[in-house]
A and B are shown apart, each in its own frame.
Chain A
Amino acid sequence: MPETDLVLFLEAAVRLGVPLALAAMGEAITERSGIINIGLEGSIIGGALGGALGALATGNAAAGVLAGAGAGLLVAMVFALFSIGLRTDQIITGTAVTLGGLGLTGAVYQARFGATGTALTLPTLAPMSVPGLSQIPWIGSALFDQAPTAYLSYALAPLLWYYLFRTAWGLELRAVGEAPDAAQAAGVRVRWVRFWATLFGGALAGLAGAHLALAHAGTFAENMSAGRGFIAIAVVVLGRWNPLWVLVAALLFGAASALQFLLQALGLDLPYQLFLALPYLLTLAALAGWVGRSRAPAALALPWPKER
């Protein structure tokens, strides 16, 4: 592979990995609290539309990113009110939120921009080159000539790791996800912690959506989240609920996706479905070989309190 191909491939890998990393790191925090938010897809598409509308309204991409995070948070709040507040089944509620999110964003988009759609011209988040670091051979431009949202994901991974494993708040969050009854007995407000963990996950998924619309595609299209919410949930498992590994897993997944486009453009005479399956085969292999030794938070997906 010539050097330029490799550099282009690595750049694409990071571009495709960043939205997964943001959404999956948020979901890792949510799952650590014992809540599995299948409605992540709804937060991502909400964040994409919120980001697009926010950027259009203010003429400022950064404001759009904030609006996207807010939209993702609002979608997650719907999920939290039902699944934590009313103790509904988390899987069913999450599915409903995903379907509702995809439908509502489509309706809003068509109402605002016409039923037949168009490619919006949005203020976009331009890549920002980090002086020095972006000059590193091979990986410099891939890692350090990216949109600001990429740097946010690099920064969040260690911060969230520190929060989870080195602070009292992180300990509370994990206790709520492993043994909510014991946590409550120790004076932790279980539902309150879960509520905020879910909103945080939604806000990061919204950021992922805003990244898709403002830093990647430069436009909004219905269904543009294209299943990334579900892939992010797999990335959480692949990253063993640890934000640092989640970032690595997301970039790995991005690399597998980028590889399929490179291989197709190289004109290899193989069925394209083989390339499309690549990221998923990788996930299966990783799950079988590596995550086998890990386990999910013990109270994950269980409504709490059990009786009332």
Chain B
Amino acid sequence: MSRNHFAVLLFALLGLSACTGQQDAETPGTFRAALLTAGPVSDAGWYAGAYEGLLLLRDSLGALVSHQQTRTPAEFDEAFLSYASSGYDLIFAHGFEYQDAAMRAGERFPNTTFVVSGGGRFADNVVPLIFELEEGSYLAGMIAAGMSRSGVVGMVGGVAIPPVEGTFLAFEAGARTVNPDVQVLESFTGSWDDVAAAKEAAVAQLGRGADVLIHNVDAASFGVFQAVRETVAAGGTAWALGMNRDQNDVAPDVILGSAVIRIPESFLETASTWQTGTLGGRPIYAGASEDVIDFVLNPQLLDVVPAELVAEMTAVRELIRAGELTVPRVPFVEGEPGVR
């Protein structure tokens, strides 16, 4: 029997190893950077941006890079341990969910620096990288309310973690500046990857009269775009908005624009700071004024968005960039008001 169990394990390992792209090579003098994601990088969004960031570190700084996808929270500690103990200098853990495991790993491996995207806790070698995506989402809300004929817009989320709740709060606030009476629907599916569930959540919102939808999920965003496409194919009018990465080319026929995080550039900036030895001990805030957050209109649909609306949005974007307008967000980082 033990032989058979071994064969089964071998098969499982084959499958697991197929999804971790180890790209090690031994060259002295360079540093090692690793990326952990809690979902597949093929989501054309949040994780895809991080993977592009990792490749940018390889191409721009000559870093030796490796990526691992963790499947369960139980694997967080294990993944940190394996990278830190095999000499990785800089580990990007791309998601709020990694923060506690990163704090534990940071204590155990003082010579490794852990960067947690959207993390809420920090230490000398544990650095939350806070993307102020609310700023992009606020602008998306303005476009949504300005483009809606029904006065109803919708948001489809995966899990209501603070960074996601923040983007939805800002979306609603931005929408209200354009149409104070706009009705904003909000649904969560409990999954970042369940395309069918996100589609049904979108269909339900479209059925309630929503005609511009934004999302904050990963690969499940394809379901939101598909629901909008089907509404258009059936003769209706509806639009979608992208989130986390420039998704305008993911469904160029229905996506008006995307609230973008320039994750690759932000990773590069963070790694450069680390190289100067000044990274750590405090969170990094990356927003519109750092040119990390933006709202990018889809060039293929520019002619459907009224010029006045674009001008209004652009003016507000300049105010945000100049620090003259503060967008509402949900605080979740240690030291922020309302956070222990």
Contact = CB atoms under 8 A, between A and B. Distances in A.
A57 B71 CA distance: 31
Contacts of B225: 119
Interface string B156-196: 00001000000000000000000000000111111101111
A219 B201 contact: no
Contacts of A12: 200, 203-204
A265 B205 contact: yes
Interface in A73-114: 78, 82, 86-89, 92-93, 95-97, 99-104, 106-107, 109-110, 113-114
Interface in A1-33: 4-5, 8, 12, 15-16, 19
Interface string B1-25: 1001101110110111111010000
Interface string B301-337: 0000000000000000000000000000000000000
A266 B183 CA distance: 11
B226 A217 contact: yes
- Max chain B Cβ within 10 angstroms of own Cβ: one of A12, A97, A114, A224: A224
Interface residues of B, number: 60
Contact of A8 (B18, B21, B191, B203): B203
A115 B42 CA distance: 5
A67 B333 CA distance: 48
Contacts of B250: 118-119
A117 B195 contact: no
A142 B43 CA distance: 31
A99 B13 CA distance: 9
Interface string A109-129: 110011111110000000000
Contacts of A109: 42
A93 B11 CA distance: 9
Nearest to B52: A116
Nearest to A16: B200
B190 A100 contact: no
Contacts of A92: 5, 8
Nearest to B191: A226
A79 to B, nearest CB: 10
Interface stretch (A151-159, A238-246, A256-264): A256-264
Contact of A107 (B18, B160, B208): B18
Contact of B4 (A86, A216, A262): A86
Contacts of A272: 160, 187-188, 190
B119 interface: no
B197 interface: yes
A221 interface: yes
A223 B193 contact: yes
A239 B52 CA distance: 46
B116 to A, nearest CB: 21
Contacts of B189: 261, 276
A96 B190 contact: no
A114 B52 CA distance: 12
A178 interface: no
Nearest to B40: A222
Contacts of A114: 42
Given A107-B18, A226-B197, 4 more contacts: A102-B15, A117-B48, A221-B193, A265-B208
The 5 closest A-B pairs by CB, nearest first: A100-B15, A117-B42, A116-B48, A103-B15, A221-B219
Interface of A: 4-5, 8, 12, 15-16, 19, 78, 82, 86-89, 92-93, 95-97, 99-104, 106-107, 109-110, 113-119, 212, 216-219, 221-224, 226, 257-258, 261-262, 264-267, 272-273, 276
Interface of B: 1, 4-5, 7-9, 11-12, 14-19, 21, 39-44, 48, 51-52, 71, 154, 160, 185-191, 193-197, 199-201, 203-205, 207-208, 210, 219-223, 225-226, 229-230, 249-251
